[in-house]
């Protein structure tokens, strides 16, 4: 699903163009149309129909590569490409928590990109690997970033209700999820808990100092096609009112907005005032799937505040995230 989102988002991209596709041995040698079971509602762009699918090996590949490989193979493959001089913008989880690998949300921690220099020195790579967070982490961190900046974070408890597209294709069997809730997604809670602290950590002396707060995640699968809904309770280090938080969300702008990067949402955070929003049905495509939509901010009897956040899991949570990472890199001069 993420690979298809990449193809879809790159279709009319002003800076990048699809030149080269690679997949597992099973698909290599076919055209993209033969190899792919296209599952997006909009049809497969004709420009990729006849592109050959190669094996995941350097040689013939362009400088910039987007990877959404299964984590079973991503470690080995991405490393091989980085060694060979490629810029690997990865959606896989393998390298996210490595000390010298940037885990990036350009609207949140663009300065972490500087880890690349360290990475290339340490690993003796001509290329590099840059990563984006897990699809559930993104909406959480986007909604927390203005709070962290303005008031300091102390404690965060999050429960997610995640879409089936997060499990890829074929992914979740209908027999498992029809009329059901699955209160477990392997590895997801751990990813959310640690990635959030790295993303909201500070870059100190060339290293990321993990954010000085705690996060607890409960992750669930529900019968939704796209878009993760999250209920969040939070307590802050410094005093804030509901009005302060709303203001912080409203005012939030960052580097991607300043530089007007092609995939940057104009409003990274959209605050809905209706009492029953955000909802996947109505908020999925806010800012082309790149905004985080929040609502229902109110006091929490246990921590201090609670609210609901929503984010598109295969756009802002995967392919769009990686694309914005690449745009940031280009605007910073890392791509020629």
| Distance separating alpha carbons of residues 50 and 207, to the nearest angstrom | 44
Residue 82 CB neighbour total at 10 angstroms:
25
39 touches a second copy by CB under 8 A: yes
- Under the criterion CB under 8 A, does residue 288 sit at the interface with a second copy? no
Establish if 273 lies at the interface with a second copy (CB under 8 A). no
306 near a second copy, rule: CB under 8 A: yes
Q: Does 225 bind a second copy (CB under 8 A)?
A: yes
Strand partners, 231: 159, 308
Binding pattern for the stretch 43-72 against a second copy, x by CB under 8 A and - elsewhere: x-----------------------------
Using CB atoms within 10 Å of the CB of residue 282, give its burial: 0 to 12 exposed, 13 to 18 middle, 19+ buried: middle
Instruction: Decide if 227 contacts 284 (C-beta within 8 A).
Output: yes
Taking a C-beta distance cutoff of 8 angstroms, is the pair 335, 260 a contact?
no
Residues in the chain: 336
**Site membership for a second copy, residue 330 (CB under 8 A):** no
Query: Which of 80, 118, 193, 212 lies at the binding interface for a second copy (CB under 8 A)?
Result: 193
Nearer to a second copy, 259 or 306 (CB): 306
Considering the rule CB under 8 A, would residue 180 count as an interface residue with a second copy?
A: yes
Among 72, 178, 204, 273, binds a second copy (CB under 8 A): 178
Per CB under 8 A, which region of 85-93, 178-186, 241-249, 328-336 contacts a second copy?
A: 178-186
Token couple for 126: 């001509």
Torsions phi, psi for 121 (to 5 deg): -70, -55
Shortest CB 248 distance to a second copy, Å = 21
**Active-site option among 86, 135, 219, 312:** 135
For the question of residue 135 being annotated catalytic, the response is yes
Q: Which of 86, 112, 228, 312 is catalytic?
A: 228
What is the distance between the alpha carbons of residues 323 and 290, in angstroms, rounded to a whole number? 11
Closest to a second copy by CB, 73 vs 182, is 182
Residues 6 or more apart in contact with residue 234 via CB below 8 angstroms: 144, 147, 153, 154, 155, 156, 157, 300, 303, 304, 305, 306, 307
Residues annotated as part of the active site: 135, 228
Q: What is the binding site for a second copy (CB under 8 A)?
A: 1, 39, 41, 43, 155-157, 159, 161, 164-165, 169-184, 193, 214-216, 218, 220, 222-225, 229, 231, 233, 275-282, 284-285, 295-296, 300-303, 306, 308
């Amino acid at each position: 699903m993420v690979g298809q989102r990449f193809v879809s988002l790159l279709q009319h991209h002003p800076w990048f163009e699809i030149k080269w596709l690679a997949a597992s041995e099973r698909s290599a040698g076919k055209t993209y149309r033969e190899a792919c079971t296209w599952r997006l509602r909009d049809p497969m762009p004709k420009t990729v129909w006849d592109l050959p699918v190669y094996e995941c090996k350097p040689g013939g590949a362009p400088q910039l590569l987007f990877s959404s490989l299964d984590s079973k193979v991503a470690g080995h493959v991405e490393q091989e490409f980085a060694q060979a001089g490629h810029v690997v913008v990865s959606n896989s989880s393998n390298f996210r928590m490595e000390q010298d690998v940037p885990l990036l949300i350009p609207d949140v921690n663009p300065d972490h990109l500087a880890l690349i220099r360290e990475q290339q020195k340490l690993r003796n790579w001509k290329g590099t690997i840059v990563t984006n967070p897990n699809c559930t982490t993104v909406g959480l961190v986007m909604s927390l970033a203005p709070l962290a900046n303005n008031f300091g974070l102390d404690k965060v408890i999050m429960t997610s209700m995640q879409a089936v597209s997060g499990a890829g294709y074929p992914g979740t069997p209908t027999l498992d999820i029809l009329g059901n809730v699955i209160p477990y997604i392997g590895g997801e809670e751990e990813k959310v808990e640690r990635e959030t602290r790295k993303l909201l950590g500070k870059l100190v002396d060339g290293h990321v100092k993990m954010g000085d707060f705690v996060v607890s995640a409960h992750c669930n699968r529900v019968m939704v096609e796209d878009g993760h809904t999250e209920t969040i309770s939070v307590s802050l280090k410094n005093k804030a009112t509901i009005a302060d938080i709303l203001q912080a969300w409203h005012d939030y702008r960052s580097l991607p907005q300043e530089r007007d990067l092609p995939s940057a949402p104009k409003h990274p955070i959209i605050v809905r005032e209706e009492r029953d929003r955000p909802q996947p049905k109505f908020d999925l495509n806010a800012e082309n799937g790149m905004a985080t939509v929040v609502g229902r901010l109110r006091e929490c009897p246990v921590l201090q505040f609670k609210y609901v956040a929503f984010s598109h899991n295969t756009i802002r949570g995967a392919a769009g995230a990686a694309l914005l990472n690449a745009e940031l890199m280009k605007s910073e001069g890392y791509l020629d």
